[in-house]
Amino acid sequence: MRNPFRSEAEAFRFVLVSVALFAAVALAGILGGGWAALGVFLALAVAVAIYVKGEPAVREPAVWERGGGDGRRHILVVANETVAGRALRGEIVHRARGDADVLVVCPALNSPLRHWASDEDRARAEAQARLDESLAALADEGVHARGEVGDADPIQAIDDALRTFGADEIVISTHPPGRSNWLERDVIERARERYGCPIAHVVVDLLHERERAEAVPPVAERRP
């Protein structure tokens, strides 16, 4: 939700909107009495809430220092449930060929209720477990990556990571369209608008990967 007191200009606009809305409420009160005013107030409150909720937060283009001055490429990977996906792992291995510094950020997804109650421990622990699994798999493939649990908002998680990690490119991994909350919230487009560096989008279909893994019997079973 957008803060109506974000700046003086926003606050001033809020004053004008309040004058208009409450003038409508006052007019309804004068013409139709208290209940009419209450009805108009509630209708306007709902309309404003829908408008504010639907308006995406505006963020300015991000500025950060790229590279670490060590001549290596810096790759920032942002992934949540898909962090252990094979497609993402393959993409990281492919991009990290040569000498690259890889940081994997796993946003701690939480339910809205737990978020508002500041009950983040479980979400962070689960994100950490997925991250550890992914880092171990990457290490098996010869990629030495670091990892950290980030903010639940992927854009905020990238912002936070860029403060200490000068990424040259960003890889964002999501579920396929239709199953991805991040795609529904236009995370990829917003990231491309905000960060002036190459951004790769990797789609990981965990369901498909799982089905394929179950269809192929383990090596030991295939032996005669």
Partner 1 sequence: MATVTHAEHPPEAHRSSRVDARLLGMYFFIASETMLFGAFFSAYFFARVVASGGEAWPPEGFELPVYLALLNTIILVTSSFTMHWALQSVKRNNRSGLVGGLALTFLLGLTFLLIQAREYTRIGFSPGDNAFASTFFGLTGLHGAHVFVGLNLLLYALVRSVRGHYGPEPEKHLGVELPGIYWHFVDVMWIVVYTTVYVI
What does the binding site for partner 1 look like in residue numbers (CB under 8 A)? Answer: 3, 5, 7-9, 11-12, 14-15, 18-19, 22, 25-26, 29-30, 34, 37, 59, 151, 156, 159-160, 163-164
Q: Would residue 24 be called left, alpha or beta, if left means φ above 0 and alpha means ψ between -120 and 50 degrees?
A: alpha
CA angle 4, 5, 8 (to 5 degrees): 120
Residue 126 vs 159, nearer CB to partner 1:
159
* CB 224, min distance to partner 1, A: 57
Nearest residue (CB) to partner 1, 85 versus 107: 107
Nearest distance, CB of residue 9 and partner 1, angstroms: 7
Between 9 and 219, CB nearer to partner 1: 9
Q: Which residue lies nearer to partner 1 by CB, 103 or 137?
A: 103
Count the Cβ atoms, other than its own, within 10 Å of residue 73.
19
Rg of the chain on CA atoms, in Å: 24
User: Angle, nearest 10°, between helix axes 154-164 and 187-194?
Assistant: 30
Task: For the CB of residue 38, give the shortest distance to partner 1 in the complex, in Å.
Answer: 8
Tell me how far, at minimum, the Cβ of 170 lies from partner 1, in Å: 17
Nearer to partner 1, 41 or 87 (CB): 41
The Cβ of residue 138 has, within 10 Å, a number of other Cβ atoms equal to 22
Q: Give the integer Cα–Cα distance in Å for 152 and 114.
A: 12
Collapsed DSSP state (helix, strand, coil) of residue 107:
strand
Q: How far is the CB of 106 from partner 1 (least distance, A)?
A: 16
